[in-house]
């Protein structure tokens, strides 16, 4: 629950970690041995590949993330999730929620019309609706594609 994670600069994990770091659910990790080999630039926008959880899933569920509730952030998060699914689920594009997240079906997928519920434990993106709702906004109205607090939006 509190183990370090290395996204290995794989884009789907790197983008996901950027969201989690912005909301405070994870923190960058700079192992002391790594500092000898990498120069840490505190002004750099590009963090290293290591992070660790700053919250458990239960703590995340109780946390107030309302300062991140913008349509741009929704599109960023859904694009990131779509990217994760495309790069980790194989050809089916299906997500097995028993393995990934038992809470996702009830708290996200059942409330958002971009998802197609395939069964008790599997969801897919409705590609037409995803394109219309998320990607149209992403392409036309999001020149700055970052996940950020409302006050910085």
85-109 per-position pLDDT tens digit: 888 776 566 666 666 677 788 888 8
Distance CA 126, CA 35 (A): 44
Strand ranges of the sheet holding 26-28, from the earlier edge strand across to the other edge = 5-6, 50-53, 26-28
pLDDT digits (tens, 9 = 90+) for 13-64: 888 899 999 999 999 887 665 555 555 555 444 567 889 899 988 898 899 9
Q: Is the pLDDT of residue 3 over 80?
A: no
pLDDT in the model for residue 100: 65
Which residues pair with residue 125 across a beta bridge?
115
pLDDT in the model for residue 104: 82
pLDDT in the model for residue 41: 52
Distance CA 97, CA 133 (A): 23
pLDDT in the model for residue 92: 66
pLDDT in the model for residue 136: 96
Closest CA to 86 of 144, 127, 138: 127
Distance CA 22, CA 20 (A): 6
């Amino acid at each position: 629950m509190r183990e370090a994670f290395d996204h290995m600069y794989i884009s789907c994990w790197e983008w996901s970690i950027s969201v989690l770091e912005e909301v405070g659910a994870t923190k960058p990790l700079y192992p002391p041995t790594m500092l000898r080999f990498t120069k840490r630039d505190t002004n750099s926008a590009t963090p290293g590949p290591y992070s660790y959880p700053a919250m458990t899933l239960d703590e995340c569920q109780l946390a107030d993330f309302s300062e991140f509730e913008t349509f741009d952030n929704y599109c960023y998060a859904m694009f990131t999730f779509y990217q994760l699914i495309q790069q980790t689920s194989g050809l089916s594009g299906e997500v097995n929620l028993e393995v990934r997240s038992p809470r996702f079906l009830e708290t996200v997928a059942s409330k958002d019309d971009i998802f197609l519920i395939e069964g008790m434990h599997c969801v897919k993106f409705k590609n037409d609706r995803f394109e219309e709702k998320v990607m149209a906004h992403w392409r036309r109205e999001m020149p700055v594609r970052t996940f950020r607090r409302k006050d910085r939006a």
